[in-house]
């Protein structure tokens, strides 16, 4: 008898990094549950791409910031497939507000922080108990190198730093049950979320600080997320894995003060 397909649930998989990750995991033989909030056409398009490539997938609407909707989503997946092997908490629940810190409203600030954490929190609380019973599972949270920034995008930075810490709490709770939990923190990736900010100046600046000579795209990101989600990645647990195509080291190398300490 052939092994049942492994099942991956990806939040916010209708577009961007989530969609590319869904296609990548579909290629790797997973049945992919493509979660989305509103854009059913985009999500259905991802399902069709996976099926046309010989894979298996389904689209499932749920607002991952709503605890009841997440409970229903996860119940559906277990009722239909009896397993979730991989959970990827990816949904871009709230676009970052770009106001400077001192003029940022409390609502905009806490809206970003709470939206970021809600999706991760509800999915985690609904999926981990069943993974614990099976004694297996892999969870990947999608974070940002913005978690380490200071002086700009304060709400986004605070939200992603909180997500990083949250993911390490989950890793600590789940590790003794055979579940591996890691976080991938990306630098700028070309998606709908960055279309409005990635102007020519920022693009050039980023390209100069990329070992690839270009801004990361969703497929670059997806290959990394799929690798970390797969058992073949090994026993890394509780890690925040930075994927920035060299931005951090190249930025320091290009920075003026480096000239004094060659």
Ligand X SMILES: NC(=O)c1ccc[n+]([C@@H]2O[C@H](COP(=O)([O-])OP(=O)(O)OC[C@H]3O[C@@H](n4cnc5c(N)ncnc54)[C@H](OP(=O)(O)O)[C@@H]3O)[C@@H](O)[C@H]2O)c1
Residues that bind ligand X (CB under 6 A): 11-12, 14-18, 35-39, 42, 63-65, 90-93, 119, 142, 144, 186, 188-189, 191-194
**Least Cβ distance, residue 184 to ligand X (angstroms):** 8
Beta-ladder partners of 217: 190
Q: Which is nearer to ligand X, 90 or 158 (CB)?
A: 90
Give the count of beta carbons closer than 10 Å to the beta carbon of residue 183. 28
Radius of gyration of the CA atoms of the chain, in A? 19
Two tokens, residue 198: 């990635």
Q: Which is nearer to ligand X, 125 or 132 (CB)?
A: 125
**Least Cβ distance, residue 243 to ligand X (angstroms):** 9
Q: Which is nearer to ligand X, 3 or 107 (CB)?
A: 107
**Least Cβ distance, residue 261 to ligand X (angstroms):** 30
Q: Which is nearer to ligand X, 124 or 188 (CB)?
A: 188
The full DSSP string for 182-211 is EEEEES-EESGGGTTT--HHHHHHHHHT-T
Among all residues, whose Cβ is closest to ligand X?
A: 16
The full DSSP string for 22-60 is HHHHHHTT-EEEEEESS-HHHHHHHHHHHHHTT-EEEEE
Q: CA 82, 69, 97, 124: dihedral to nearest 10 degrees?
A: -40
**Least Cβ distance, residue 42 to ligand X (angstroms):** 5
Q: Which is nearer to ligand X, 117 or 136 (CB)?
A: 117
Is 18 in contact with 93 (CB distance < 8 Å)? no
**Least Cβ distance, residue 161 to ligand X (angstroms):** 12
Collapsing DSSP to helix, strand or coil, 86 comes out as strand
Burial of 261 (C-beta count, 10 Å sphere; 0-12/13-18/19+): exposed
Two tokens, residue 68: 């009841």
**Least Cβ distance, residue 224 to ligand X (angstroms):** 11
Burial of 151 (C-beta count, 10 Å sphere; 0-12/13-18/19+): exposed
Q: Which is nearer to ligand X, 114 or 132 (CB)?
A: 114
Q: Which is nearer to ligand X, 36 or 166 (CB)?
A: 36
Name the DSSP letter for residue 14.
S
**Least Cβ distance, residue 189 to ligand X (angstroms):** 4
């Amino acid at each position: 008898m052939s092994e049942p397909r492994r099942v991956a649930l990806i939040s916010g998989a209708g577009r961007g990094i989530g969609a590319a990750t869904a296609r990548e995991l579909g290629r790797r033989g997973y049945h992919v549950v493509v979660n989305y909030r509103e854009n059913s056409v985009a999500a259905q398009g991802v399902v069709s791409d996976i099926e046309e490539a010989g894979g298996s997938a389904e689209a499932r609407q749920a607002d991952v910031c709503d605890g009841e909707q997440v409970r229903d989503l996860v119940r559906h997946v277990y009722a239909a497939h009896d397993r979730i092997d991989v959970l990827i908490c990816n949904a871009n629940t709230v676009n970052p507000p770009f106001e400077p810190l001192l003029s940022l409203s409390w609502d905009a600030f806490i809206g970003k922080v709470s939206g970021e954490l809600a999706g991760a929190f509800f999915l985690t609380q609904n999926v981990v108990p069943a993974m614990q019973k099976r004694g297996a599972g892999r969870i990947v949270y999608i974070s940002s190198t913005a978690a380490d920034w200071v002086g700009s995008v304060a709400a986004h930075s605070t939200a992603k730093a909180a997500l990083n810490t949250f993911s390490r709490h989950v890793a600590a709770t789940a590790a003794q049950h055979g579940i591996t939990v890691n976080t991938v923190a990306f630098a700028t990736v070309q998606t709908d979320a960055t279309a409005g900010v990635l102007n020519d100046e920022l693009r050039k600046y980023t390209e100069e600080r990329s070992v690839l000579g270009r801004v990361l795209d969703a497929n670059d990101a997806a290959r990394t997320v799929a690798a970390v989600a797969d058992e073949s990645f090994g026993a890394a647990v509780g890690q925040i894995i930075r994927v920035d195509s060299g931005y951090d080291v190249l930025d320091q190398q290009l920075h003026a003060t480096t000239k004094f300490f060659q």
